[in-house]
Amino acid sequence: MTIEEYWDSLTQNEKFIFQRTSRYLLKQTFIVRDKDDNSRKLYNFVSRNADLFIDYFGYIGFEVLIDRESGVAMLSNRGSREDSEDVQTNHLRLRKIDSIILCALWTLYADRMREGTLSRTCQISVADLSFALEKFGYKDTLDKTTLRDTLTVLARYNLVHVEGNVGEPDCLIVMYPSLQFTLNKEEFQKFAEQSSLRMKKTKGGEDIESLEQEYDNDEEES
């Protein structure tokens, strides 16, 4: 069935849901089934009509991936770094601290997967995150404003949800299963090696500011 035939076979309501779901994916990248009722509706529609979404987004260089075990539908950019700048405009550029916090959250989620303690809602405290950052030598960077700004960015893409006010004792961070698709093992290994080197040099008395120059720049591409 061609994409035109598939489109014609949809009801008017299904066409409306397709349009809404497509715009949601373009804006937020991930649909997390268990986030709320609206997300469940959009996820189920993508899951039932996977071929239509795959064909549609394939025209603009995206893959539509559906992980039914974790209940996540997502867009993945098929482009490479050699593509023209115009094609790469959809890439999100993270600040270094955003990438560090994302890596720490990734490790916390991965740890709970290995322990078999994950449920549909996996919550951690800010103290849990601070401890994860401390293991990589970054605890001092976690001030309230920085953390709030970073979590706002990550929440925008359905990676986390913050319950309460950052800085308050009862503040919780809900980690969504979409986190597991933000990094691969090779990317995390590179981060861990850089962090280990940073900690060793810091303990040896080298100035933190000089260490920052070892990284490529203040932004990382995601």
pLDDT score of 95:
84
Name the strand (E) or helix (H) holding 74.
strand 72-77
pLDDT at position 140 is: 64
Q: What is the pLDDT of residue 217?
A: 40
Please give the helix or strand (H or E) that residue 25 lies within, else none. helix 12-28
**Contact 14/6 with Cβ under 8 angstroms?**
no
Q: Are 45 and 18 spatial neighbours (Cβ–Cβ below 8 Å)?
A: yes
- Residue 52: its pLDDT value, please? 95
| CATH numbers and ranges of domains, the chain | 3-80 (1.10.10), 93-221 (1.10.10)
What are phi and psi for residue 219, nearest 5 degrees? Answer: -130, 150
CA distance 181 to 117: 19
Give the pLDDT confidence score for residue 117 in this predicted structure.
57
Residue matched to tokens 């990550």? 154
Read off the tokens for 19.
């349009």
Low-confidence ranges of the chain (pLDDT < 70): 78-91, 116-121, 139-141, 184-222
pTM for the whole thing?
Answer: 0.78
